[in-house]
Structure 1
Amino acid sequence: MMKRQRRQQEIVALLGEGNFRGIGDLAQSLAVSEETIRRELRVLEASGAVVRAHGAVRLAKVETEGSFAARLQRHADAKQRIAAASVPFVADGQTLYLDASTTGHFVARALRDHKRLTVITNAVGVAAELGGRNENRVLLAGGELDYEYRACFDTTARDYLALFTPSLAILSVESVNLDHGFSDYHAGEAAVSRMMIARSRRTMIVADRSKFDRHGTVQIAPLNGVAMLVTDQPLTPAYAEGLAGVEVVIA
């Protein structure tokens, strides 16, 4: 299973964004048969990660976020580096909020050796990664489950999360934009993120370079409205100016 997941990640990486490539080209690049490529593409197509047409394939256009499984595979290497760079800022015994993003999921995995954490989350995957380990406490918001995000964003979830004041909130976003700051596509996720930024003593945004210069739908915070940004590539001069006063860590 792990070999297949790795191969699917390699296919996504080869496709880049928006470019069609032939089945034979992918098979040659990965040194596998065309039938193997077709089998993996059937899985990726079912998850919404790719689009096939006449013997060729490309990544699905990122107009919305797509399913959690598809997003988990996008830019996975960058997200893992960002997660590894963020965990030194989390202390054993700390109380933190982790969001339902795929980057947040990678952060949860990277935190598995930490001890006595109190983790507040609305994400089933985060709870599964950190619950029952090293004396961690996991406080999971309930409500109606959004199956694509594997998380709860409704009024029940927000009312529960509003009870807490974590020392650190770790969030990702779908857009980092000079004009609109940090924003998202999912209105429920954005509402939860805004609330947890307001209730936390410190906020860390974890976002890879693909999120920059995109246009989100719902604003979460202005660029100077958070304490830290962890990303995977150096900032352009314009973003360095816009993020003046924000601690920036390059993974």
Structure 2
Amino acid sequence: MSLTYEDRRMTILNQLEMEGKVQVHQLSEMLAVSTETVRRDLDRLEKEGKLRKVYGGAVKMRLELVEPPFLKRAQMMKAEKAAIGKLAASLIRDGETIMMDNGTTTIEIMPYLKDRTNITLITHSVPILNLAMETFRGRIIFVGGEVNMEFQAAAGSLTDQMLDQFKVNKAFISVGGISLTDGITDFHLAEALVSRKMIQRAEESILVTDHTKFGMSTFARVSKLEEISMVITDSGCSKEWIDAIETLGIEVLISD
């Protein structure tokens, strides 16, 4: 019995959610239909605004082709990010040294560290530095270099050299997108390189991200998913994604 369009539609969208992209020939074999049928389905889904056709297949629609400014992003999914930040902060033990990259989710960890005095924070993020100087009572190390005014963080060779001087307990990493195919990605190459270095210099690398980033791929690759120790996200994350990440041996924590 052949699959209906609705059945094929669900399969295509599920595959797109997990992989970030689909290929016509792969779908043809999976659905046991002709490539012409798959192409018609992709045409229809593109008209529905569910995907964007590319040569040989389709990719997931991106809500943002470029990253919004930091202050605008800070207001997006704010409650979810705050809950993720609270859960992430609870994992930090006294005496630990942590790194935070430049993100509107990582910055939400800071309010829950304000009374912690025996923690060392290393960051290249100007917004996180500013907030830490106002509220944090532990030790602060700012990883300098050339400050990019667009995304308000230091990056480049000097930043990379400074990060090489440290070995830390935990690195908290933000994300532009998460895909089983492309791994962890960011909008900016310079920021992706800093996040990658932090992962390399940490005993544990913890990804902090709201559910909207799953199934997305952005410009610059940070790392493979397997290089992450843990993912902290919100309850909007689908069971399929949780299962897929845990299958890779990565622990997943869901915030309240």
TM-score (norm: length of structure 2): 0.70
**1:183-194 superposed matches below 5 A:** 183-194=185-196
Matched residue type, 1:111? L
Per-residue CA distance 1:176-196 (angstroms, 9 max, x = gap): 112111111110111011111
Which of 233, 240, 244 aligns to 2:243? It is 240
Residue number in structure 2 paired with 1:208: 210
Task: Give the distance between the partners of 1:116 and 1:198, measured in 2 at CA.
Answer: 23
Matches within 5 A, 1:2-151: 61-131=63-133, 135-151=137-153
Q: Is the 8 A contact 1:116 1:134 kept in 2?
A: no
Unaligned runs of 5+ residues in structure 2 are 1-61
Q: Secondary structure at the match of 1:219?
A: strand
State the Cα distance separating 1:237 from its structure 2 match: 2.3
Mark the CA change 1:241 to 1:134 in structure 2 (over 3 Å): closer, same or farther: closer
How many percent identity over aligned positions?
28
- Say if 2:184 and 2:221, in contact at 8 Å, map to a contact too: yes
**Conserved? CA contact 1:131–1:137, under 8 Å:** no
1:107-129, Cα deviation, whole Å (9 max, x unpaired): 12222222221111101222222
**C-alpha distance 191-134 of structure 1, shift in aligned 2 (>3 A):** closer
CA displacement at 1:146 relative to structure 2: 1.3
1:158-213 alpha-carbon deviations (Å, 9 max, x no partner): 11111111110001101011211111111011101111111111110000011011
Counterpart of 1:249 in structure 2 is: 253
| Alignment match, 2:201 | 199
Instruction: Supply the distance in 1 between the matched residues of 2:241 and 2:130 (Cα, whole angstroms).
Output: 39
Q: What is residue 232 of structure 2 aligned with on the other side?
A: 230
When Rg is computed on C-alpha atoms for both structures, the one with the higher figure is 2
Number of residue pairs the alignment of both structures matches: 192
Runs of 5+ in structure 1 lacking a partner? 1-59
1:66/1:148 contact within 8 Å kept: no
Q: CA deviation at 1:140?
A: 0.3
CA distance 1:105–1:115, shift in 2 (3 Å): same
Structure 2 partner of 1:29: none
Contact conserved, 1:183 with 1:190, CA < 8 A, in 2? yes
Distance 1:144 1:173 in 2: 21
* Residue aligning to 2:13: none
- Which whole-Å CA distance do the structure 1 matches of 2:243 and 2:225 have between them? 10
Q: Distance in 2 between matches of 1:162 and 1:109?
A: 27
Partners of 1:107 and 1:220 in 2: CA distance: 21
2:223 to 221, 224, 234: 221
- Provide the TM-score with structure 1 as the length reference: 0.72
